[in-house]
């Protein structure tokens, strides 16, 4: 619960007070109210040139697990169609599947659509850049959009926050 004290001077009108209160409530996020640093939706994303890369071997695209990574060596016939990548922790590896992606928008989220979601943290409202970039990603299917107006969809029957869903390109 957030408590706020407004000091009202005798020259303020009710309209001035309402505008001030709405500015206060509109600028303080849950993270700021708790004393943490808030992260806006637009600022939590992969870094420039990061793509999702499979970490689970040479399996089907829809069954693989993915991590964000930078491509060091593009896949070619000479590399066995594998890309050399570097993950956020600095580890280098070779991978078969490289997926450019973008954040989903409401128009992308239709029942039956295949999307990428954070396997463990897609319901975490207090996402940090570090958690976002170090999360394991998986493919899933949108199974319900009944709460899309709340920023939530179901993927494979699990509620997920829309702001953390991605679309493979």
CA 54 to each of CA 16, 49, 84, 147: distance values in angstroms, whole numbers, following the listed order: 55, 16, 11, 30
Residue 95 phi, psi dihedral angles, 5° rounding: -140, 155
Domain-by-domain residue ranges, the chain?
50-99, 101-168
Q: What is the DSSP letter of 144?
A: E
pLDDT in tens, the chain (169 residues): 333 333 333 344 434 434 433 333 333 333 333 333 344 445 788 888 999 999 877 678 898 999 999 999 999 999 999 999 999 899 999 999 999 999 999 999 999 999 999 987 666 677 888 888 888 999 999 999 999 999 999 999 999 999 999 999 9
Q: Are 43 and 31 in contact (CB under 8 A)?
A: no
CATH class, domain 101-168, is mainly beta
* DSSP assigned state of 77: G
Query: Distance between CA 68 and CA 132 in Å, rounded?
Result: 9
Cα 16 to Cα 36: distance, rounded to the nearest angstrom: 29
Backbone angles phi, psi at 60, to 5 degrees: -60, 145
CA angle 106, 128, 84 (to 5 degrees): 85
Cα–Cα distance measured from residue 135 to residue 33, given in angstroms and rounded to the nearest whole number: 25
Burial of 155 (0-12, 13-18, 19+ CB in 10 A): buried
Q: In this predicted structure, what is the pLDDT of residue 1?
A: 37
Nearest to 60 by CA among 130, 167, 138, 112: 138
Question: Which pLDDT score is estimated for 58?
Answer: 67
CB proximity list for 18: less than 8 A, separation 6 or greater: none
User: What pLDDT does residue 115 have?
Assistant: 98
Strands 50-54 and 66-73: antiparallel
């Amino acid at each position: 619960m957030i408590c706020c004290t407004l000091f009202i001077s005798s020259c303020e009108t009710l309209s001035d007070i309402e505008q001030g209160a709405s500015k206060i409530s509109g600028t303080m996020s849950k993270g700021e109210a708790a004393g943490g640093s808030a992260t806006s939706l637009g600022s939590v994303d992969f870094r420039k040139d990061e793509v999702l890369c499979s970490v689970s071997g040479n399996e089907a695209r829809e069954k693989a697990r993915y991590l964000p990574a930078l491509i060091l060596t593009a896949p070619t016939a000479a590399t066995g169609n594998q890309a050399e990548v570097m993950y956020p922790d600095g580890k280098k590896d070779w991978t078969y599947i490289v997926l450019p992606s973008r954040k989903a928008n409401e128009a992308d989220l239709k029942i039956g659509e295949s999307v990428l979601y954070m396997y463990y943290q897609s319901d975490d409202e207090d996402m940090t850049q570090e958690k976002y970039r170090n999360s394991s990603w998986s493919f899933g299917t949108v199974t319900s959009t009944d709460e899309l107006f709340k920023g939530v969809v179901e993927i494979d029957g699990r509620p997920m926050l829309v702001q953390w869903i991605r679309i493979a390109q």
